[in-house]
Structure 1
Amino acid sequence: MADSAHVASDDEAIEGEVARASAASAGRAAAQPRLWTAVFVLIVLLTFCCFVMGQGLNAGTSVFLSRVGYGASLAGVLALVFSASAAVARLVIGPIIDAGKCSLVMVAGAVVLLAGTVVPLAGQGVALYAASRVLQGVGFAMATTAASTAAADVLPRARLGEGIGYYGLGQALAMSVGPALALFLAGTDPASNLYAGLSLVAVAGLAVSFFTRYERKPLALPETSAFRERWERAERAKAQVAAAESRAANAEPQAAAAESQVADAKGRPSEPVKAPAAKPAKAPSFFEPRALPGAIPMTIMCPTFGFGIFFVGLYGTQIGVANASLFYTISAISMIAVRLKSKSFMDRVAPIKTFTVAVACGLVTCVMLYFGPASDYVFYLAGVFYGLCLGISLPLNQAVAVKNTPPERWGATNALFLLMNDVGIGLASALWGFTNDAFGFGVTICLVMVCLVASYVAAWVFYPEKDRAWR
């Protein structure tokens, strides 16, 4: 009997340990909600396709124009056309996305981007190239703004910064594949193969966009995701309204009878009670000022990326680098590495501290590019620090902007953030084109360094106080 009791006691102890382990496991699972849902993977894939298009068109256009007889100045002007078109489009589509049309905007953007890539295949001429850049800018803005908002919508709240870092993997991969593919295609005969090849990527992005309609299955999203929480609040509100209407419908006959009795008792007819006038619906705002603390430092830094995206390939070709596209491949590997490590710092380290590292990497990139003619290896190695700079700063500042605004305004937030990025890249790229033709790439690289320092000063000025805490 004693042995049996001892065995039973051991069994109970084992069961207790198993229960405690299960509870601890459940607690850890609850503390770490699922990040990589099917729809999030599709959004990352769509982003990859869109940025292959965007980065490829931006890097390849200057080489294409050079091959057909134009200079860097036209490439800079067309870069401004692309960015201005994207900026205007983002102003319009932000409120549309916030109105619940995020998936629709993604599909429409993919269609317009495809159209803009096909147009140059119809003929040549500055007017035709400008029209194609307008369509490319509008389509790129629509698809990427909607995808950024969708990513924030489907990520669990506790892992939002980490998730945005992983979301940038699509952009990081595109930084390698897009420019490298574009430079290869633009170097073949005819040079218009650039647009034929990238059109196939656009078709793939359009196909993916049809499967990213997360609004149809909100219960498949993490419990703390912004879209699911908004959907559940809306459903509860609908249920409360229905219940109130039901109670009002049941109470109406009794209220009418009571009112009739009161009127009879007073000897005068009763007047119906008027419902309070409904307040006019507030028009959606195109501008979300709470996104500015993250948007302003990024905008000032964007000329760095404008130079990298539009002109590093051309710069490497002119100084005789054997394989200029390798810069983009190396930078992409660097970005992927830092994005995969974003869990360790994105939601844990003070943003100003992280941004310091990004700016330092950008300055190192400029110094190495300046001395790029001395050695191909110096030019290639600059891609490592360029990738770190872009891989850290873009999701970091986007997270600052998003966390500083309410979820129902994330469409306008992402629209403003990306709009200001487009403005920073476009204006600077037009300037870089003229500077390159007039003074050479060395002067341009020095001006890029000035922009990096200015962006760091802006972060100290505009970041919220909690994000400037050096802890």
Structure 2
Amino acid sequence: MGKAKLWTKDFLIVSLANFFLYFTFYLLMVTITVFATEQFQATPSEAGLASGIFVIGTLLARLIIGRTIDRIGWKKTLYIGFILFLLTTCLYYFVNSLTFLFINRFLNGAALGVASTATGTIVARIIPNERRGEGTGYYALSVTLAAAIGPFLGMYLSQHAGFSMNFTVCNILLVLSFFAVFFVNVPKMEFSKDHFAKMKGLSIRSFFEVKAIPISIIAALIALGYSSILTFLTSYAKEIDLVDVSSFFFIVYALFILVSRPFTGRWFDQKGENLVMYPSFILFAIALVVLSQAHQGFAILAAGALVGLGYGTFSSSAQAISIKVSPKDRMGLATSTFFIFLDGGIGIGPFVLGLLIPVLGYRGLYIAMAVLVFLSLFLYYFLHGRKAGKGSAPVASN
């Protein structure tokens, strides 16, 4: 009996649509602070809020849509999310005050929360169970590539074509991907009345998939470590006079994920998640140590490669675990639960870690994050690793 097919039309379209969603997110994330400063003379804290309020909107939307996506319908939720994201991205052309920018950033983030929860839920259903790790790994590349290409292109366009060109590029790509999702065939899911009855209450189970919470907690801690790179790498590079080399950090990061993903996904399915999860913690911790001791450009690039192998492998594998341990009829809630915690770690990181920099400095911060990541390995063992069976296990059922 042959392998279940992974590279279907539906898988490719949903992955591409997710890429354009996150491409817009990352492109605007790195340029909106400069936009707020130059257009509205925002203070550094106001410019930071203009960037971070997006994540707050995303988190709140995920919290709500995770418990309603099954009732609304997965594909209809995808349409709604895309339309709202496209409309709020178009509104950047008309922003004429800092207050308007804050409001639109919040709404833009909420729209991404709706659309990306839908893409994650749909793709979880499309991926064959026996290729869960491999499929989720390839799907996660859509976010990885967006995180590498979006910031690079955003900074280039801002310098050479102005902020409006950023908005134009994002809108064109969103329109194209919106039309593409009309051709996605979403597998039917039958939900019982009891399922919807459970979602009506205000209990934790109606907002979160409880079985996905342990791995999601770990994801939040690891994302906190990653946020130290995403937010402070440029400032750190300026301090150690390695700005030119640091601009290639995320390119190397994405390249090493592309090279490693075919192997790590298969190992996850064939050998069990622990085989890829434990090394991912160690490699990410080493990456942070290397980054903290960087005095030459090679160390920055080496850290980028290790982050790709460590954090890149962890994020896709942890997402696969969150789906694997959850009931089939709660895939939508499991997806939103995982990303609420992951986005939460990235979202609060700049605020929390920013308080540590005056005390520890950038090098000390990265050492502290390496310790956090390494300790998270033991937390993973107690919350999931010791119970994980070797080999591919079936997705939990009702």
> 3-state DSSP class of the match of 2:271?
coil
- Given that 1:64 and 1:192 are in contact with CA atoms closer than 8 Å, whether structure 2 keeps it comes out as no
Question: More deviation in 183-192 or 129-138?
Answer: 183-192
Q: CA RMSD in A?
A: 2.9
For residues 306-361 of structure 1, the C-alpha deviation after alignment (integer angstroms, 9 at most, x for no partner) is 23333334543564421543111111111112222234311133433422211222
Q: Check the 8 A contact 2:293/2:363 in 1, yes or no.
A: no
Matching residue of 1:322 = 244
Normalising by structure 2, we get a TM-score of 0.86
- CA 286–279 in structure 1, closer or farther in 2 if over 3 Å, else same: closer
Matches within 5 A, 1:28-107: 29=2, 32-65=3-36, 70=42, 73-99=45-71, 101-107=73-79
Contact preservation (8 Å) 2:23, 2:146: yes
Give, in angstroms, the shift of residue 367 of structure 1. 2.3
The corresponding residue for 2:260 is: 338
Matched to 2:20, the amino acid is C
Q: Distance in 1 between matches of 2:368 and 2:47?
A: 19
Counterpart in 2 of 1:122?
Answer: 94
**Which residue is equivalent to 2:211?**
290
Q: For 2:279 and 2:272, locate their aligned partners in 1 and report how far apart those are by CA, in whole Å.
A: 12
Cα deviation for residue 402 of structure 1 reads: 0.9
Distance 1:161 1:148, change over 3 A: same
Question: 1:63 touches 1:186 (CA, 8 Å); kept in 2?
Answer: no
Q: In 2, are the aligned partners of 1:105 and 1:146 still within 8 Å (CA)?
A: yes
Change (3 A) 1:455 1:121: farther
Aligned residue among 284, 301, 307 for 1:380: 301
Over alpha carbons, which structure has the higher Rg? 1
Aligned residues with identical type, % of pairs: 23
Q: Who is 2:223 aligned against? A: 302
Residue from 274, 278, 292 that aligns with 1:352: 274
Alignment partner, residue 113 of structure 2: 141
Secondary structure of residue in 2 paired with 1:34: coil
Cα separation, 1, equivalents of 2:157 and 2:234 = 13
- Conserved in 2, the CA contact under 8 Å of 1:296 and 1:462? no
CA 1:152/1:76 → structure 2, altered by over 3 Å: closer, same or farther? same
CA distance in 2, matches of 1:310, 1:87: 18
Return closer, same or farther for 1:173/1:403 CA change in 2, 3 Å cut-off: same
* Counterpart amino acid of residue 297 in structure 1: I
Moved more, 430-439 or 150-159: 430-439
Q: Report 1:101-250 matches (<5 A).
A: 101-188=73-160, 190-212=162-184, 214-215=185-186, 218=187, 227=188, 230=189
Q: Is 1:164–1:395's contact at 8 Å kept on the other side of the alignment?
A: yes
- Conserved 8 A contact 2:267-2:275: no
Distance 1:168 1:320 in 2: 29
Superposed displacement of residue 91, structure 1: 1.3
Matched, 1:457 2:378: yes
Distance 2:195 2:13 in 1: 38
In the alignment, the residues of structure 2 paired with residue 195 and residue 439 of structure 1 have an alpha-carbon distance, to the nearest angstrom, of 37
CA contact (8 A) 2:74 2:122 kept: yes
**Residue by residue, what CA displacement relative to the aligned partner does 1:205-240 show, whole Å, maximum 9, x if unpaired?**
32333332x23xx4xxxxxxxx5xx46xx8xx9xxx
> How far 1:171 sits from its partner (Å)?
1.6
CA positional deviation for 1:62: 4.1
Q: Which residue of 1 aligns with 2:365?
A: 444
User: Contact 1:116 / 1:134 at 8 angstroms: preserved in 2?
Assistant: no
Alpha carbons 1:35, 1:156 under 8 Å: kept = yes
SS at match of 2:6: coil
Shift of 1:54: 1.9
Partner in structure 2 of residue 13 of structure 1: none
User: How far apart, in 2, do the equivalents of 1:380 and 1:279 lie?
Assistant: 52
**Following TM superposition, by how much is the alpha carbon of 1:412 offset from its aligned partner in structure 2, in angstroms?**
0.5
In 1, Cα distance between the equivalents of 2:86 and 2:71? 25
Post-superposition CA distance 1:107-127 (Å, at most 9, x none) = 222222223333333235432
Tell me if structure 1 keeps the 8 A contact 2:223–2:342.
yes
Shift of 1:394: 1.0
How far apart are 1:468 and its partner, in Å?
7.4
Distance between the aligned counterparts of 2:157 and 2:358, measured in 1? 25
Alignment partner of 1:347: what SS?
A: helix
- Residue 322 (structure 2) aligns with: 401
User: Structure 1 stretches of 5 or more lacking a match?
Assistant: 1-26, 219-226, 238-277
Q: Distance in 1 between matches of 2:46 and 2:362?
A: 16
| CA deviation profile, 1:376-423 (whole Å, cap 9, x unmatched) | 232223211111123211121111111111110000110111111121
- Distance, in Å, in 2 between the alignment partners of 1:435 and 1:130 is 26
Distance of 1:36 and 1:62 partners within structure 2: 38
Report if aligned partners of 1:72, 1:437 keep a CA contact under 8 Å in 2: no
Report how many aligned residue pairs link the two structures: 383
Q: Note the alpha carbon deviations across 1:125-146, whole angstroms, 9 max, x for none.
A: 4323322321221122111111
Give the secondary-structure state (helix, strand or coil) at the position aligned to 1:467: coil
CA gap 1:442/1:131 in 2 versus in 1, 3 angstroms: farther
